[in-house]
Structure 1
Amino acid sequence: MAPSHVDTPAIDTTARAAETPDLPQPYVELGLADDEYARIKEILGRRPTEAELAMYSVMWSEHCSYKSSKKHLSYFGKTTTPEMREKMLAGIGENAGVVDVGDGWAVTFKVESHNHPSYVEPYQGAATGVGGIVRDILAMGARPLAVADPLRFGPADAPDTRRVLPGVVAGIAGYGNCLGLPNIGGEVVFDESYAGNPLVNALCVGAMRVEDLHLAHASGTGNKIILFGARTGLDGIGGVSVLASDTFSGDETAGGRKKLPSVQVGDPFTEKVLIECCLELFAKKLVVGIQDLGGAGLSCATSELAAAGDGGMYIDLDQVPLRAKNMTPAEILSSESQERMCAVVAPSDVDAFMAVCAKWDVIATEIGEVTDGDHLVITWRGETVVDVPPRTVAHQGPVYDRPYARPAGQDTVQANTTDSLARPSTPDELRDTLLKLVSSPNLASKEWVTQQYDRYVRGNTVLAQPADSGVIRIDESTGRGVAVATDCNSRFVYLDPYAGTQLALAEAYRNVATSGAMPVAVTNCLNFGSPRDPGVMWQFERAVHGLADGCAQLGVPVTGGNVSFYNQTGDTAILPTPVVGVLGVIDDVTRRIPTGIGNEAGETLLLLGETRDEFGGSAWAHVIHGHLGGLPPKVDLERERLLAEILVAGSRDGMISAAHDLSDGGLAQALVEMVLIGQCGARAILADDQDPFVQLFSESAGRVLVAVPRSEELRFTEMCDARGLPWRRAGVVDPEAGALEIQDVATFGLDELSTAWEGTLPALFD
């Protein structure tokens, strides 16, 4: 269905489709299998028109229909208890999850992927990823407040990473900064497996009053369908079927442009105005239902609104404002042009709705209405080009029970432990190891990236990168705020998908608690290779069960998320990367806990939790030895819950002045980051009964390093003892030292550490 820009295209109507049942159609090129095409014909009782074929192909794509993952995702529902649902106002299946956070406030958040478009065209792929997730939040009735971006790239020194990373970062910055949304969190990770298939995940968080929640449904016969925002063009056609639901062959950028027509083009200034327009429409109660236009464009918006309503829908494509000539109905329906919304509006409110749009200079057009039938009917130039049951398009796509099996080599991978790797033992060796690790791309400062983002616009950012979690104030009168963190160590997931995913959950949960916020909800972005590979599907199934079981144990619901399959080049899949986002609530943001230590001499450093000899998948094994094998650290979710409760209590009662979780790089990395972020010296003390190497570089979970004022040390440690949380004194804050001294190991000047930690990315990408 190549676009025609010269001749007026012939109309493939439903009547013509019935008269020409054997007309060949390019369903394979559109991503449909033989049996899927046959099922469409069975549903319709005829072959589909070109427009219908376009709708089914994009809506039945992996990206939109979850056809390979739906069977496994149902496990989230089976493990979500009534108590977990209690605070959830909207969950899986909506544009974004919504939770009640108290005082009449609701918070909505979600993370989604824009991986393949960001490889093909890094700037626009990443920019429109931000724009799309912001509109998901807006569609729930909330004001978007902040964004975060978990990113994965190939090796930091690879030529293609130098092409992709700067463009992705510029796209995120260019779009988010223009919207005036602070970027408060995320990750930047490098690994060989992401070469040719970077992961660009985007998270947005927004807030609203509970009564302002909006859902996507088209109800009320006679209600009008209004398309508003940008005009519809040829960009993004096939984005969800050509890009997001297919495996890269490796030549997507050969010649520079192969799949570029599938990448959307964003305009953040149009979206900024659209946000304000929507919020005024919500405030004036002029919207019955609303849906953003992202993946699958009008095909998605119209079919999902109709499917969630109580009747049918009629759409006249002649009314859709276009920015390209001679677009076919299939192109109009499939276009993923950005900055568009579709609203259901009562007839009596249409004039007021249009007046608000005119005030904001937003193009708004009535394109149809809700009918009393049960079909979605779409016309173009007076002819019917679509006549379908909307649920068959939106919700009744194919569901596959893909074969899955533990890979034959998994036992070998797990048996390949770190026991044979040479460990540093002398002070000089330990010193050298620490400097190598803190200057490695994955552990080095990401300031080169984050300084391009506006982290403090609007003035409500309380914590942002490089803090453990981003914290944003949602109520200026009470100081109520929320924290968000995203995490995933894909090496851990590769070694054990079930435990590795629980470790990702535990780390994000811990990072939120480390800021002083109580974790309340989870979102996810499940990035995996091809679902046609039984080994990949085994990883996926184990990861979903690990996350669902972990959330049930912690009592935090999964409110929504995203599945991104086909993240591989040829036969080589990425490391399984189920990114977990956790949302926490803090009653008063003035009580938030910073990451860097302050300049209060004599404050005690306490290490909470237990350190074990656990190095499978660790940064030390990866950076120093290029090794990936063994088992990941043990996860104890009850300990994580206890740790969170103590951190929140310590924050509330003013007992903690700084805190940093221990994860990649272990205690050594946490010490370096705390002294550099706070620009304050410290003296660290290692325990006598354990190997200094294990103490410094183990990545055992469930640990946090806290700074406690001398006046609060007894009260805090008594609370830990009473609750059964292990702790030990790990050092003291020493502002006069100007250095990090690790007793009996080495002394590092702050300038020396700063050069090692902060110099890596600028040297690679400036």
Structure 2
Amino acid sequence: MSLADSDRELVTAELGRDPTPTEAALFENLWSEHCAYRSSRPLLSAFSSEGDQVVVGPGDDAAVVRVPDNGGESDAETYVTMGIESHNHPSYVDPYDGAATGVGGIVRDTLSMGAYPIALADSLYFGGFDREHTRYLFEGVVEGISDYGNAIGVPTVGGSVEFHDDYEGNPLVNVACVGLVDEERLVTAEAQEPGNKLVLVGNATGRDGLGGASFASEDLAEDAETEDRPAVQVGDPYSEKLLIEANEELIDGGLVQSARDLGAAGLGGASSEMVAKGGLGARIELERVHQREPNMNALEIVLAESQERMCYEVRPEDVESVEEIAEKYDLGCSVIGEVSEGNYVCTFEGETVVDVPAEFLADGAPMNDLDAVEPAQPEPDRPDVDLQSAFEAVVGAPNTASKRWVFRQYDHEVGARTALKPGDDAAVMAIREAGTGLALSAGAVPAWTDCAPYDGARAVALENATNLAAKGATPLAAVDCLNGGNPEKSDVYGRFTAIVDGLADMCRDLSVPVVGGNVSLYNDSAAGPIPPTPTLAMVGTKPGYEAPPAALDGRGTLLLVGAGSDALGGSELLAQVGGVDRFPTLPENASEVVATLAEVANADATLATHDVSNGGLAVTLAEMITADAGADVAVEDVASLFAETPGRAVVETEAPEAVRDAFDGVAPVAELGEATRDGTLSLSVGDERLAVASEEVAALRDVIEAELD
């Protein structure tokens, strides 16, 4: 770790002296790209974060949004918290611990708001599935998420898995968490009053994770798997479970004035940001921190990113009660200092090692002024394909294959709230306190944003909203995880800028506030930069918890709702057979399309709904058929079968005219054919015809399970 010369000059000018070694390291981490968003913050004003439903927007550990009340069990107003985090570099170096501690961190962000975590969604991006190293990373990451989430009792209910060659040297692990809180229990990370004590609760501090924030702000080197291992934290989910329950008791007792979890930059990051938010300072005695290893120095105590730790602001008269609760749950507890007026000060064994203005430390990093080159659009060059080979290649591709191997390892029913399980367009959680179903969708499609960063990002937002609407939910709010390569490269920064603008524009068109998020840059390696990847986690609400399934019933008419396009840019078909094309045109009235689809999905005559996305209509139909229900469908040409224009869905209905009436003036409705009871997908495409039994489709779609089991 070393503070850049230009930053050192600014710090020296502000302090009127050279920084101490501990101060220099603290500034280097808190002013890193990972913590300060120096290259991305100038772009984030593009997002709209306001709305009547928004209680706490960007800037805290997690966002808080109000849930509509549909006659629930609680008299208090019900809120959900939303947060998302990346653990990309650590998951390359150590896939198991990197992914596990990503789960732990986003759960503690939820605890910081006084909320109880009720759902996780992980969006994972890896290199080509045919590579042994990819499968090693994939298996390690899934195991880390599974072991940690299952042990702490928080269900993993959704997410996505994508494979793309450009993630080979730098996979992405993005984890979102939803929590539940009410208006009476809500706390924030803003310190309240001088004289209140700062209390550290949780695991003892060790030397793991030192410099994690600065490590996350650099390109991955070829030797990262060995050289950067000390920067990866090691998780202990059983301590996290104890911390979750202790946090509940602390909140129930009204013992917490403000809270922050110890993540990037460790104690220094959490405590300085907390007091800076309140316009205050702190006095911390570092030797009071309970430690796991002997002879730790001040810099190590300040910056260690050891897991399962929380920093609480507590009134002096409540400290004893906090200590008793920590002891009850067998958690370490240290009164490390107090909130003050003036500077952020840390001492170690009587020596002052940090004495700086808290606001300057937490928010004083200068922004980068970087050049951006606008992405170019390729000239279309589409190959000719035959129906059978195209169908087999696309339906059997790892990106469109069944992800059952992944989600079957997760406990998605713990907590008894999961009303619609993984494997559908969106999960649905039962918020009984408000009588409301909360739908959750998360992910991105790198092939789309690689092909057309701006329109691809718009498509990602529309795709997630369509997932919610297909289950009858109206979008409520979203958080994003913006992943990009080295921003100092003008072409990379241009593509990153485009995904920010595209995501922001479509969320605004959908009237979905983006209430928080995370930025992860420098996802660059010897293999090159990753595709710009705008992961979005979006929630929506509906009265009650019932939702139409994606699986066909077998009795209805099949309709394709939404405007199509024969453009194949970003499609799995081109990824399999080669060629390039322009990206599909998106609807101008996206909000109306989504609202109408939600209305149709909730109709009594609707038997099944499933959105059209990766792999196009071919994959949608392949996912809908079962051993007991098939489909007899006709489309005009191959492009109609494999184009991936979002904002569309297949609806099986007993009242096709009612669906047409609902979409009249909103979007086209095309009759595809009829659902059947023979378990066969029969496709007529122009003059070609293909019939595939459900067991043949299942065999094609089991490529991941067949390889890894």
- Structure-2-length-normalised TM-score: 0.96
Q: How far off its partner does 1:88 sit?
A: 0.7
* Bigger shift: residues 331-340 or 202-211: 202-211
Pair 746,259 (structure 1): closer, same or farther in 2 beyond 3 Å: same
Aligned pair partner of 1:237 in 203, 210, 223: 210
C-alpha deviations, 1:50-80, integer Å up to 9, x for none? 211121111011100001111111222xx45
In structure 1, what is the Cα distance between the partners aligned to 2:118 and 2:44? 28
- Which amino acid in 1 is paired with 2:616? G
- Which amino acid in 1 is paired with 2:556? E
In structure 2, what is the Cα distance between the partners aligned to 1:518 and 1:334? 42
Matched, 1:53 2:1: no
C-alpha deviations, 1:75-122, integer Å up to 9, x for none? 22xx45xxx432111111111111111232111112211000000001
- Hey, what does 2:568 align to over in structure 1? 615
- Hey, what does 2:134 align to over in structure 1? 161
Q: How far off its partner does 1:169 sit?
A: 0.6
Matched, 1:340 2:296: no
- Which amino acid in 1 is paired with 2:493? M
Q: How far off its partner does 1:479 sit?
A: 3.7
- Hey, what does 1:418 align to over in structure 2? 381
Are the counterparts in 1 of residues 594 and 647 from structure 2 also a CA contact under 8 Å? no
- Which amino acid in 2 is paired with 1:650? V
Aligned pair partner of 1:748 in 676, 687, 692: 692
Aligned pair partner of 2:55 in 69, 86, 89: 89
In structure 2, what is the Cα distance between the partners aligned to 1:637 and 1:207? 34
In structure 2, what is the Cα distance between the partners aligned to 1:53 and 1:358? 35
- Which amino acid in 1 is paired with 2:581? G
C-alpha deviations, 1:323-359, integer Å up to 9, x for none? 0111110011110000000000111222222222222
- Which amino acid in 2 is paired with 1:164? L
- Hey, what does 1:134 align to over in structure 2? 107
Aligned pair partner of 1:71 in 37, 42, 45: 42
C-alpha deviations, 1:268-305, integer Å up to 9, x for none? 11001101111111111111100000111101111101
- Hey, what does 1:660 align to over in structure 2? 610
Are the counterparts in 1 of residues 511 and 591 from structure 2 also a CA contact under 8 Å? no
Are the counterparts in 2 of residues 655 and 716 from structure 1 also a CA contact under 8 Å? no
Matched, 1:274 2:224: no
In structure 2, what is the Cα distance between the partners aligned to 1:532 and 1:334? 26
* Bigger shift: residues 543-552 or 144-153: 543-552
Matched, 1:674 2:674: no
Which ranges in structure 2 are unaligned for 5 or more consecutive residues? 70-76
Are the counterparts in 1 of residues 162 and 446 from structure 2 also a CA contact under 8 Å? no
In structure 1, what is the Cα distance between the partners aligned to 2:280 and 2:525? 44
Identity %: 39
**What SS class does the counterpart of residue 685 from structure 1 fall into?**
strand
- Which amino acid in 1 is paired with 2:59? G
C-alpha deviations, 1:511-552, integer Å up to 9, x for none? 111111110111111110001101111112222122222222
**What SS class does the counterpart of residue 387 from structure 1 fall into?**
strand
- Which amino acid in 2 is paired with 1:681? A
Alignment of 1:97-136 (within 5 A): 97-103=63-69, 104-136=77-109
Matched, 1:576 2:532: yes
In structure 1, what is the Cα distance between the partners aligned to 2:58 and 2:568? 36
- Which amino acid in 2 is paired with 1:746? L
Alignment of 1:112-261 (within 5 A): 112-242=85-215, 244-253=216-225, 257-261=226-230
Alignment of 1:505-584 (within 5 A): 505-570=461-526, 572-584=528-540
- Hey, what does 1:374 align to over in structure 2? 342
Matched, 1:650 2:600: yes
C-alpha deviations, 1:491-511, integer Å up to 9, x for none? 221232211110111101111
Aligned pair partner of 2:650 in 695, 702, 705: 705
- Hey, what does 2:591 align to over in structure 1? 641
In structure 2, what is the Cα distance between the partners aligned to 1:442 and 1:124? 25
Are the counterparts in 2 of residues 218 and 305 from structure 1 also a CA contact under 8 Å? yes
C-alpha deviations, 1:150-174, integer Å up to 9, x for none? 0011110112112211111100001
Pair 160,210 (structure 1): closer, same or farther in 2 beyond 3 Å: same
Are the counterparts in 1 of residues 478 and 512 from structure 2 also a CA contact under 8 Å? yes
- Hey, what does 1:470 align to over in structure 2? 427
Q: How far off its partner does 1:478 sit?
A: 5.4
In structure 2, what is the Cα distance between the partners aligned to 1:281 and 1:36? 40
In structure 2, what is the Cα distance between the partners aligned to 1:319 and 1:299? 14
Matched, 1:294 2:247: no
Are the counterparts in 2 of residues 468 and 661 from structure 1 also a CA contact under 8 Å? yes
- Which amino acid in 2 is paired with 1:444? A
Which ranges in structure 1 are unaligned for 5 or more consecutive residues? 1-28, 425-429
Q: How far off its partner does 1:680 sit?
A: 3.1
Matched, 1:395 2:363: yes
Matched, 1:385 2:353: yes
Q: How far off its partner does 1:733 sit?
A: 2.2
The ranges of structure 1 where at least 4 consecutive aligned residues each deviate by more than 6 angstroms after the TM superposition are none
Are the counterparts in 1 of residues 193 and 339 from structure 2 also a CA contact under 8 Å? yes
In structure 1, what is the Cα distance between the partners aligned to 2:161 and 2:441? 13
Pair 481,435 (structure 1): closer, same or farther in 2 beyond 3 Å: same
In structure 1, what is the Cα distance between the partners aligned to 2:276 and 2:282? 9
Aligned pair partner of 1:455 in 402, 412, 417: 412
How many residue pairs get aligned? The number is 699
**What SS class does the counterpart of residue 558 from structure 2 fall into?**
strand
What's the C-alpha RMSD, in Å, of the aligned pairs?
1.6
In structure 2, what is the Cα distance between the partners aligned to 1:212 and 1:658? 39
In structure 2, what is the Cα distance between the partners aligned to 1:396 and 1:533? 24
- Hey, what does 2:74 align to over in structure 1? none
Q: How far off its partner does 1:714 sit?
A: 3.3
Q: How far off its partner does 1:228 sit?
A: 0.2
Aligned pair partner of 1:438 in 385, 388, 395: 395
C-alpha deviations, 1:438-488, integer Å up to 9, x for none? 11111111111111111212221112321111111121x654121111232
Are the counterparts in 2 of residues 418 and 621 from structure 1 also a CA contact under 8 Å? no
In structure 2, what is the Cα distance between the partners aligned to 1:350 and 1:363? 14
Aligned pair partner of 2:11 in 36, 40, 44: 40
Are the counterparts in 1 of residues 65 and 477 from structure 2 also a CA contact under 8 Å? yes
**What SS class does the counterpart of residue 686 from structure 1 fall into?**
strand
- Which amino acid in 2 is paired with 1:73? L
C-alpha deviations, 1:348-374, integer Å up to 9, x for none? 222222222222222221111112x22
**What SS class does the counterpart of residue 459 from structure 2 fall into?**
helix
Pair 334,463 (structure 1): closer, same or farther in 2 beyond 3 Å: same
- Which amino acid in 2 is paired with 1:683? A
In structure 2, what is the Cα distance between the partners aligned to 1:567 and 1:560? 21
Matched, 1:761 2:709: no
In structure 1, what is the Cα distance between the partners aligned to 2:695 and 2:472? 30
- Which amino acid in 2 is paired with 1:604? T
C-alpha deviations, 1:557-579, integer Å up to 9, x for none? 11111111111113711111111
In structure 1, what is the Cα distance between the partners aligned to 2:644 and 2:498? 22
In structure 2, what is the Cα distance between the partners aligned to 1:312 and 1:715? 62
Are the counterparts in 2 of residues 219 and 310 from structure 1 also a CA contact under 8 Å? no
In structure 2, what is the Cα distance between the partners aligned to 1:378 and 1:249? 34
Q: How far off its partner does 1:385 sit?
A: 1.0
Matched, 1:354 2:323: yes
- Which amino acid in 1 is paired with 2:61? N
- Hey, what does 2:293 align to over in structure 1? 324
